[in-house]
Amino acid sequence: MKKLIIANWKCNPEKIIEGMKILNSLKGLVDGKNKVVICPPSVFLGQFLADFGQDFTFGVQNCYFEQKGAYTGEISPKMIQSIGAKYVIIGHSERRSIFKENDDEINKKLSLILNETNLIPVLCIGENREEREAEKTYQVIARQLMNCLDNIPKEKLNKIVIAYEPVWAIGTGIYATEDKIIDARNSIVKILCDIYDKSIENKINIIYGGSVNKENIDMVINGCKMDGVLVGGASLKPKDFILICNI
């Protein structure tokens, strides 16, 4: 079974030429065993799709919850689809904490993506350090899932990728241990079975994100049996990212 390896470049690199260099370094060395999706800054997408559209699948890091109109600075799901991207990350913890996005907005984005495009949404959830220390991880991810999936029908669930990304592990070099990832995975399945019913148990795609690197990728994929990974920092280092992609 192919694993999903998603690169989240965040607001990097500063120049499009540097991004091209990274893609050129990956080209031909990613072996195709897994599904690799590159999510660069949206402003680079047009050029990347023209030059590397045959080599990679592309996605974006965010979208708005309306398709068009007077929303300065925003990009919509239909725009993303029309340019040729296939995936869209929503609810990333940096969007939630820095840009104050809430579950209600993320739910609107998810509904619009699923109802009006063929894009695959990657819904990020996860607890922060205080919540983990207070042993509230289950409650936090249950609340996020319930709110973000409000009014999303069961039949659409297999179109969504759920990214479990503990906030304390993102960009810190401190990754979740095998037992924590397995625990979170089991919790997500249980919460979704409670929201919907048991029939969805084997239809959910759950990936892990948070300081994934070439050393821990085997633990995440083979130890925790995750369906894939969301990779930030290491996805900008071609040598490391190739090893991650070829797991």
Of 160, 232, 241, 245, the one binding ligand PEP (CB under 6 A) is 232
What DSSP line would sit under 119-168, residue for residue? -EEEEEE---HHHHHTT-HHHHHHHHHHHHTTT--GGGGGGPEEEE--GG
* Terminal C-alpha separation, the chain: 12
Number of Cβ within 10 Å of residue 186's Cβ equals 12
Residue 191 vs 217, nearer CB to ligand PEP = 217
Site for ligand PEP in 152-171 (CB under 6 A): 165, 170-171
* Region near ligand PEP per CB under 6 A, out of 20-28, 48-56, 114-122, 228-236: 228-236
Q: Is 216 left (phi over 0), alpha (psi -120 to 50) or beta?
A: alpha
**Which residues, including other chains, have CB under 8 Å from residue 236's CB and lie 6 or more apart?**
7, 9, 12, 13, 22
Query: Helix count (H) and strand count (E) of the chain?
Result: 10, 8
Of 112, 142, 226, 231, the one binding ligand PEP (CB under 6 A) is 231
Q: Of 145, 204, 209, 144, whose CA–CA distance to 176 is shortest?
A: 209
Helix (H) or strand (E) holding 4: strand 4-8
Q: Give the nearest distance from C-beta 110 to ligand PEP in angstroms.
A: 17
Encoded one letter per residue, x for contact with ligand PEP by CB under 6 A and - for no contact, window 8-47 reads x-x-------------------------------------
Q: Give the nearest distance from C-beta 6 to ligand PEP in angstroms.
A: 8
Of 90, 230, 244, 245, the one binding ligand PEP (CB under 6 A) is 230
Is residue 14 part of the annotated active site? The answer reads no
Residue 131 vs 196, nearer CB to ligand PEP = 131
Is residue 105 part of the annotated active site? The answer reads no
Question: By the criterion CB under 6 A, which residues form the site for ligand PEP?
Answer: 8, 10, 165, 170-171, 209-212, 230-234
Residues with catalytic function: 92, 165
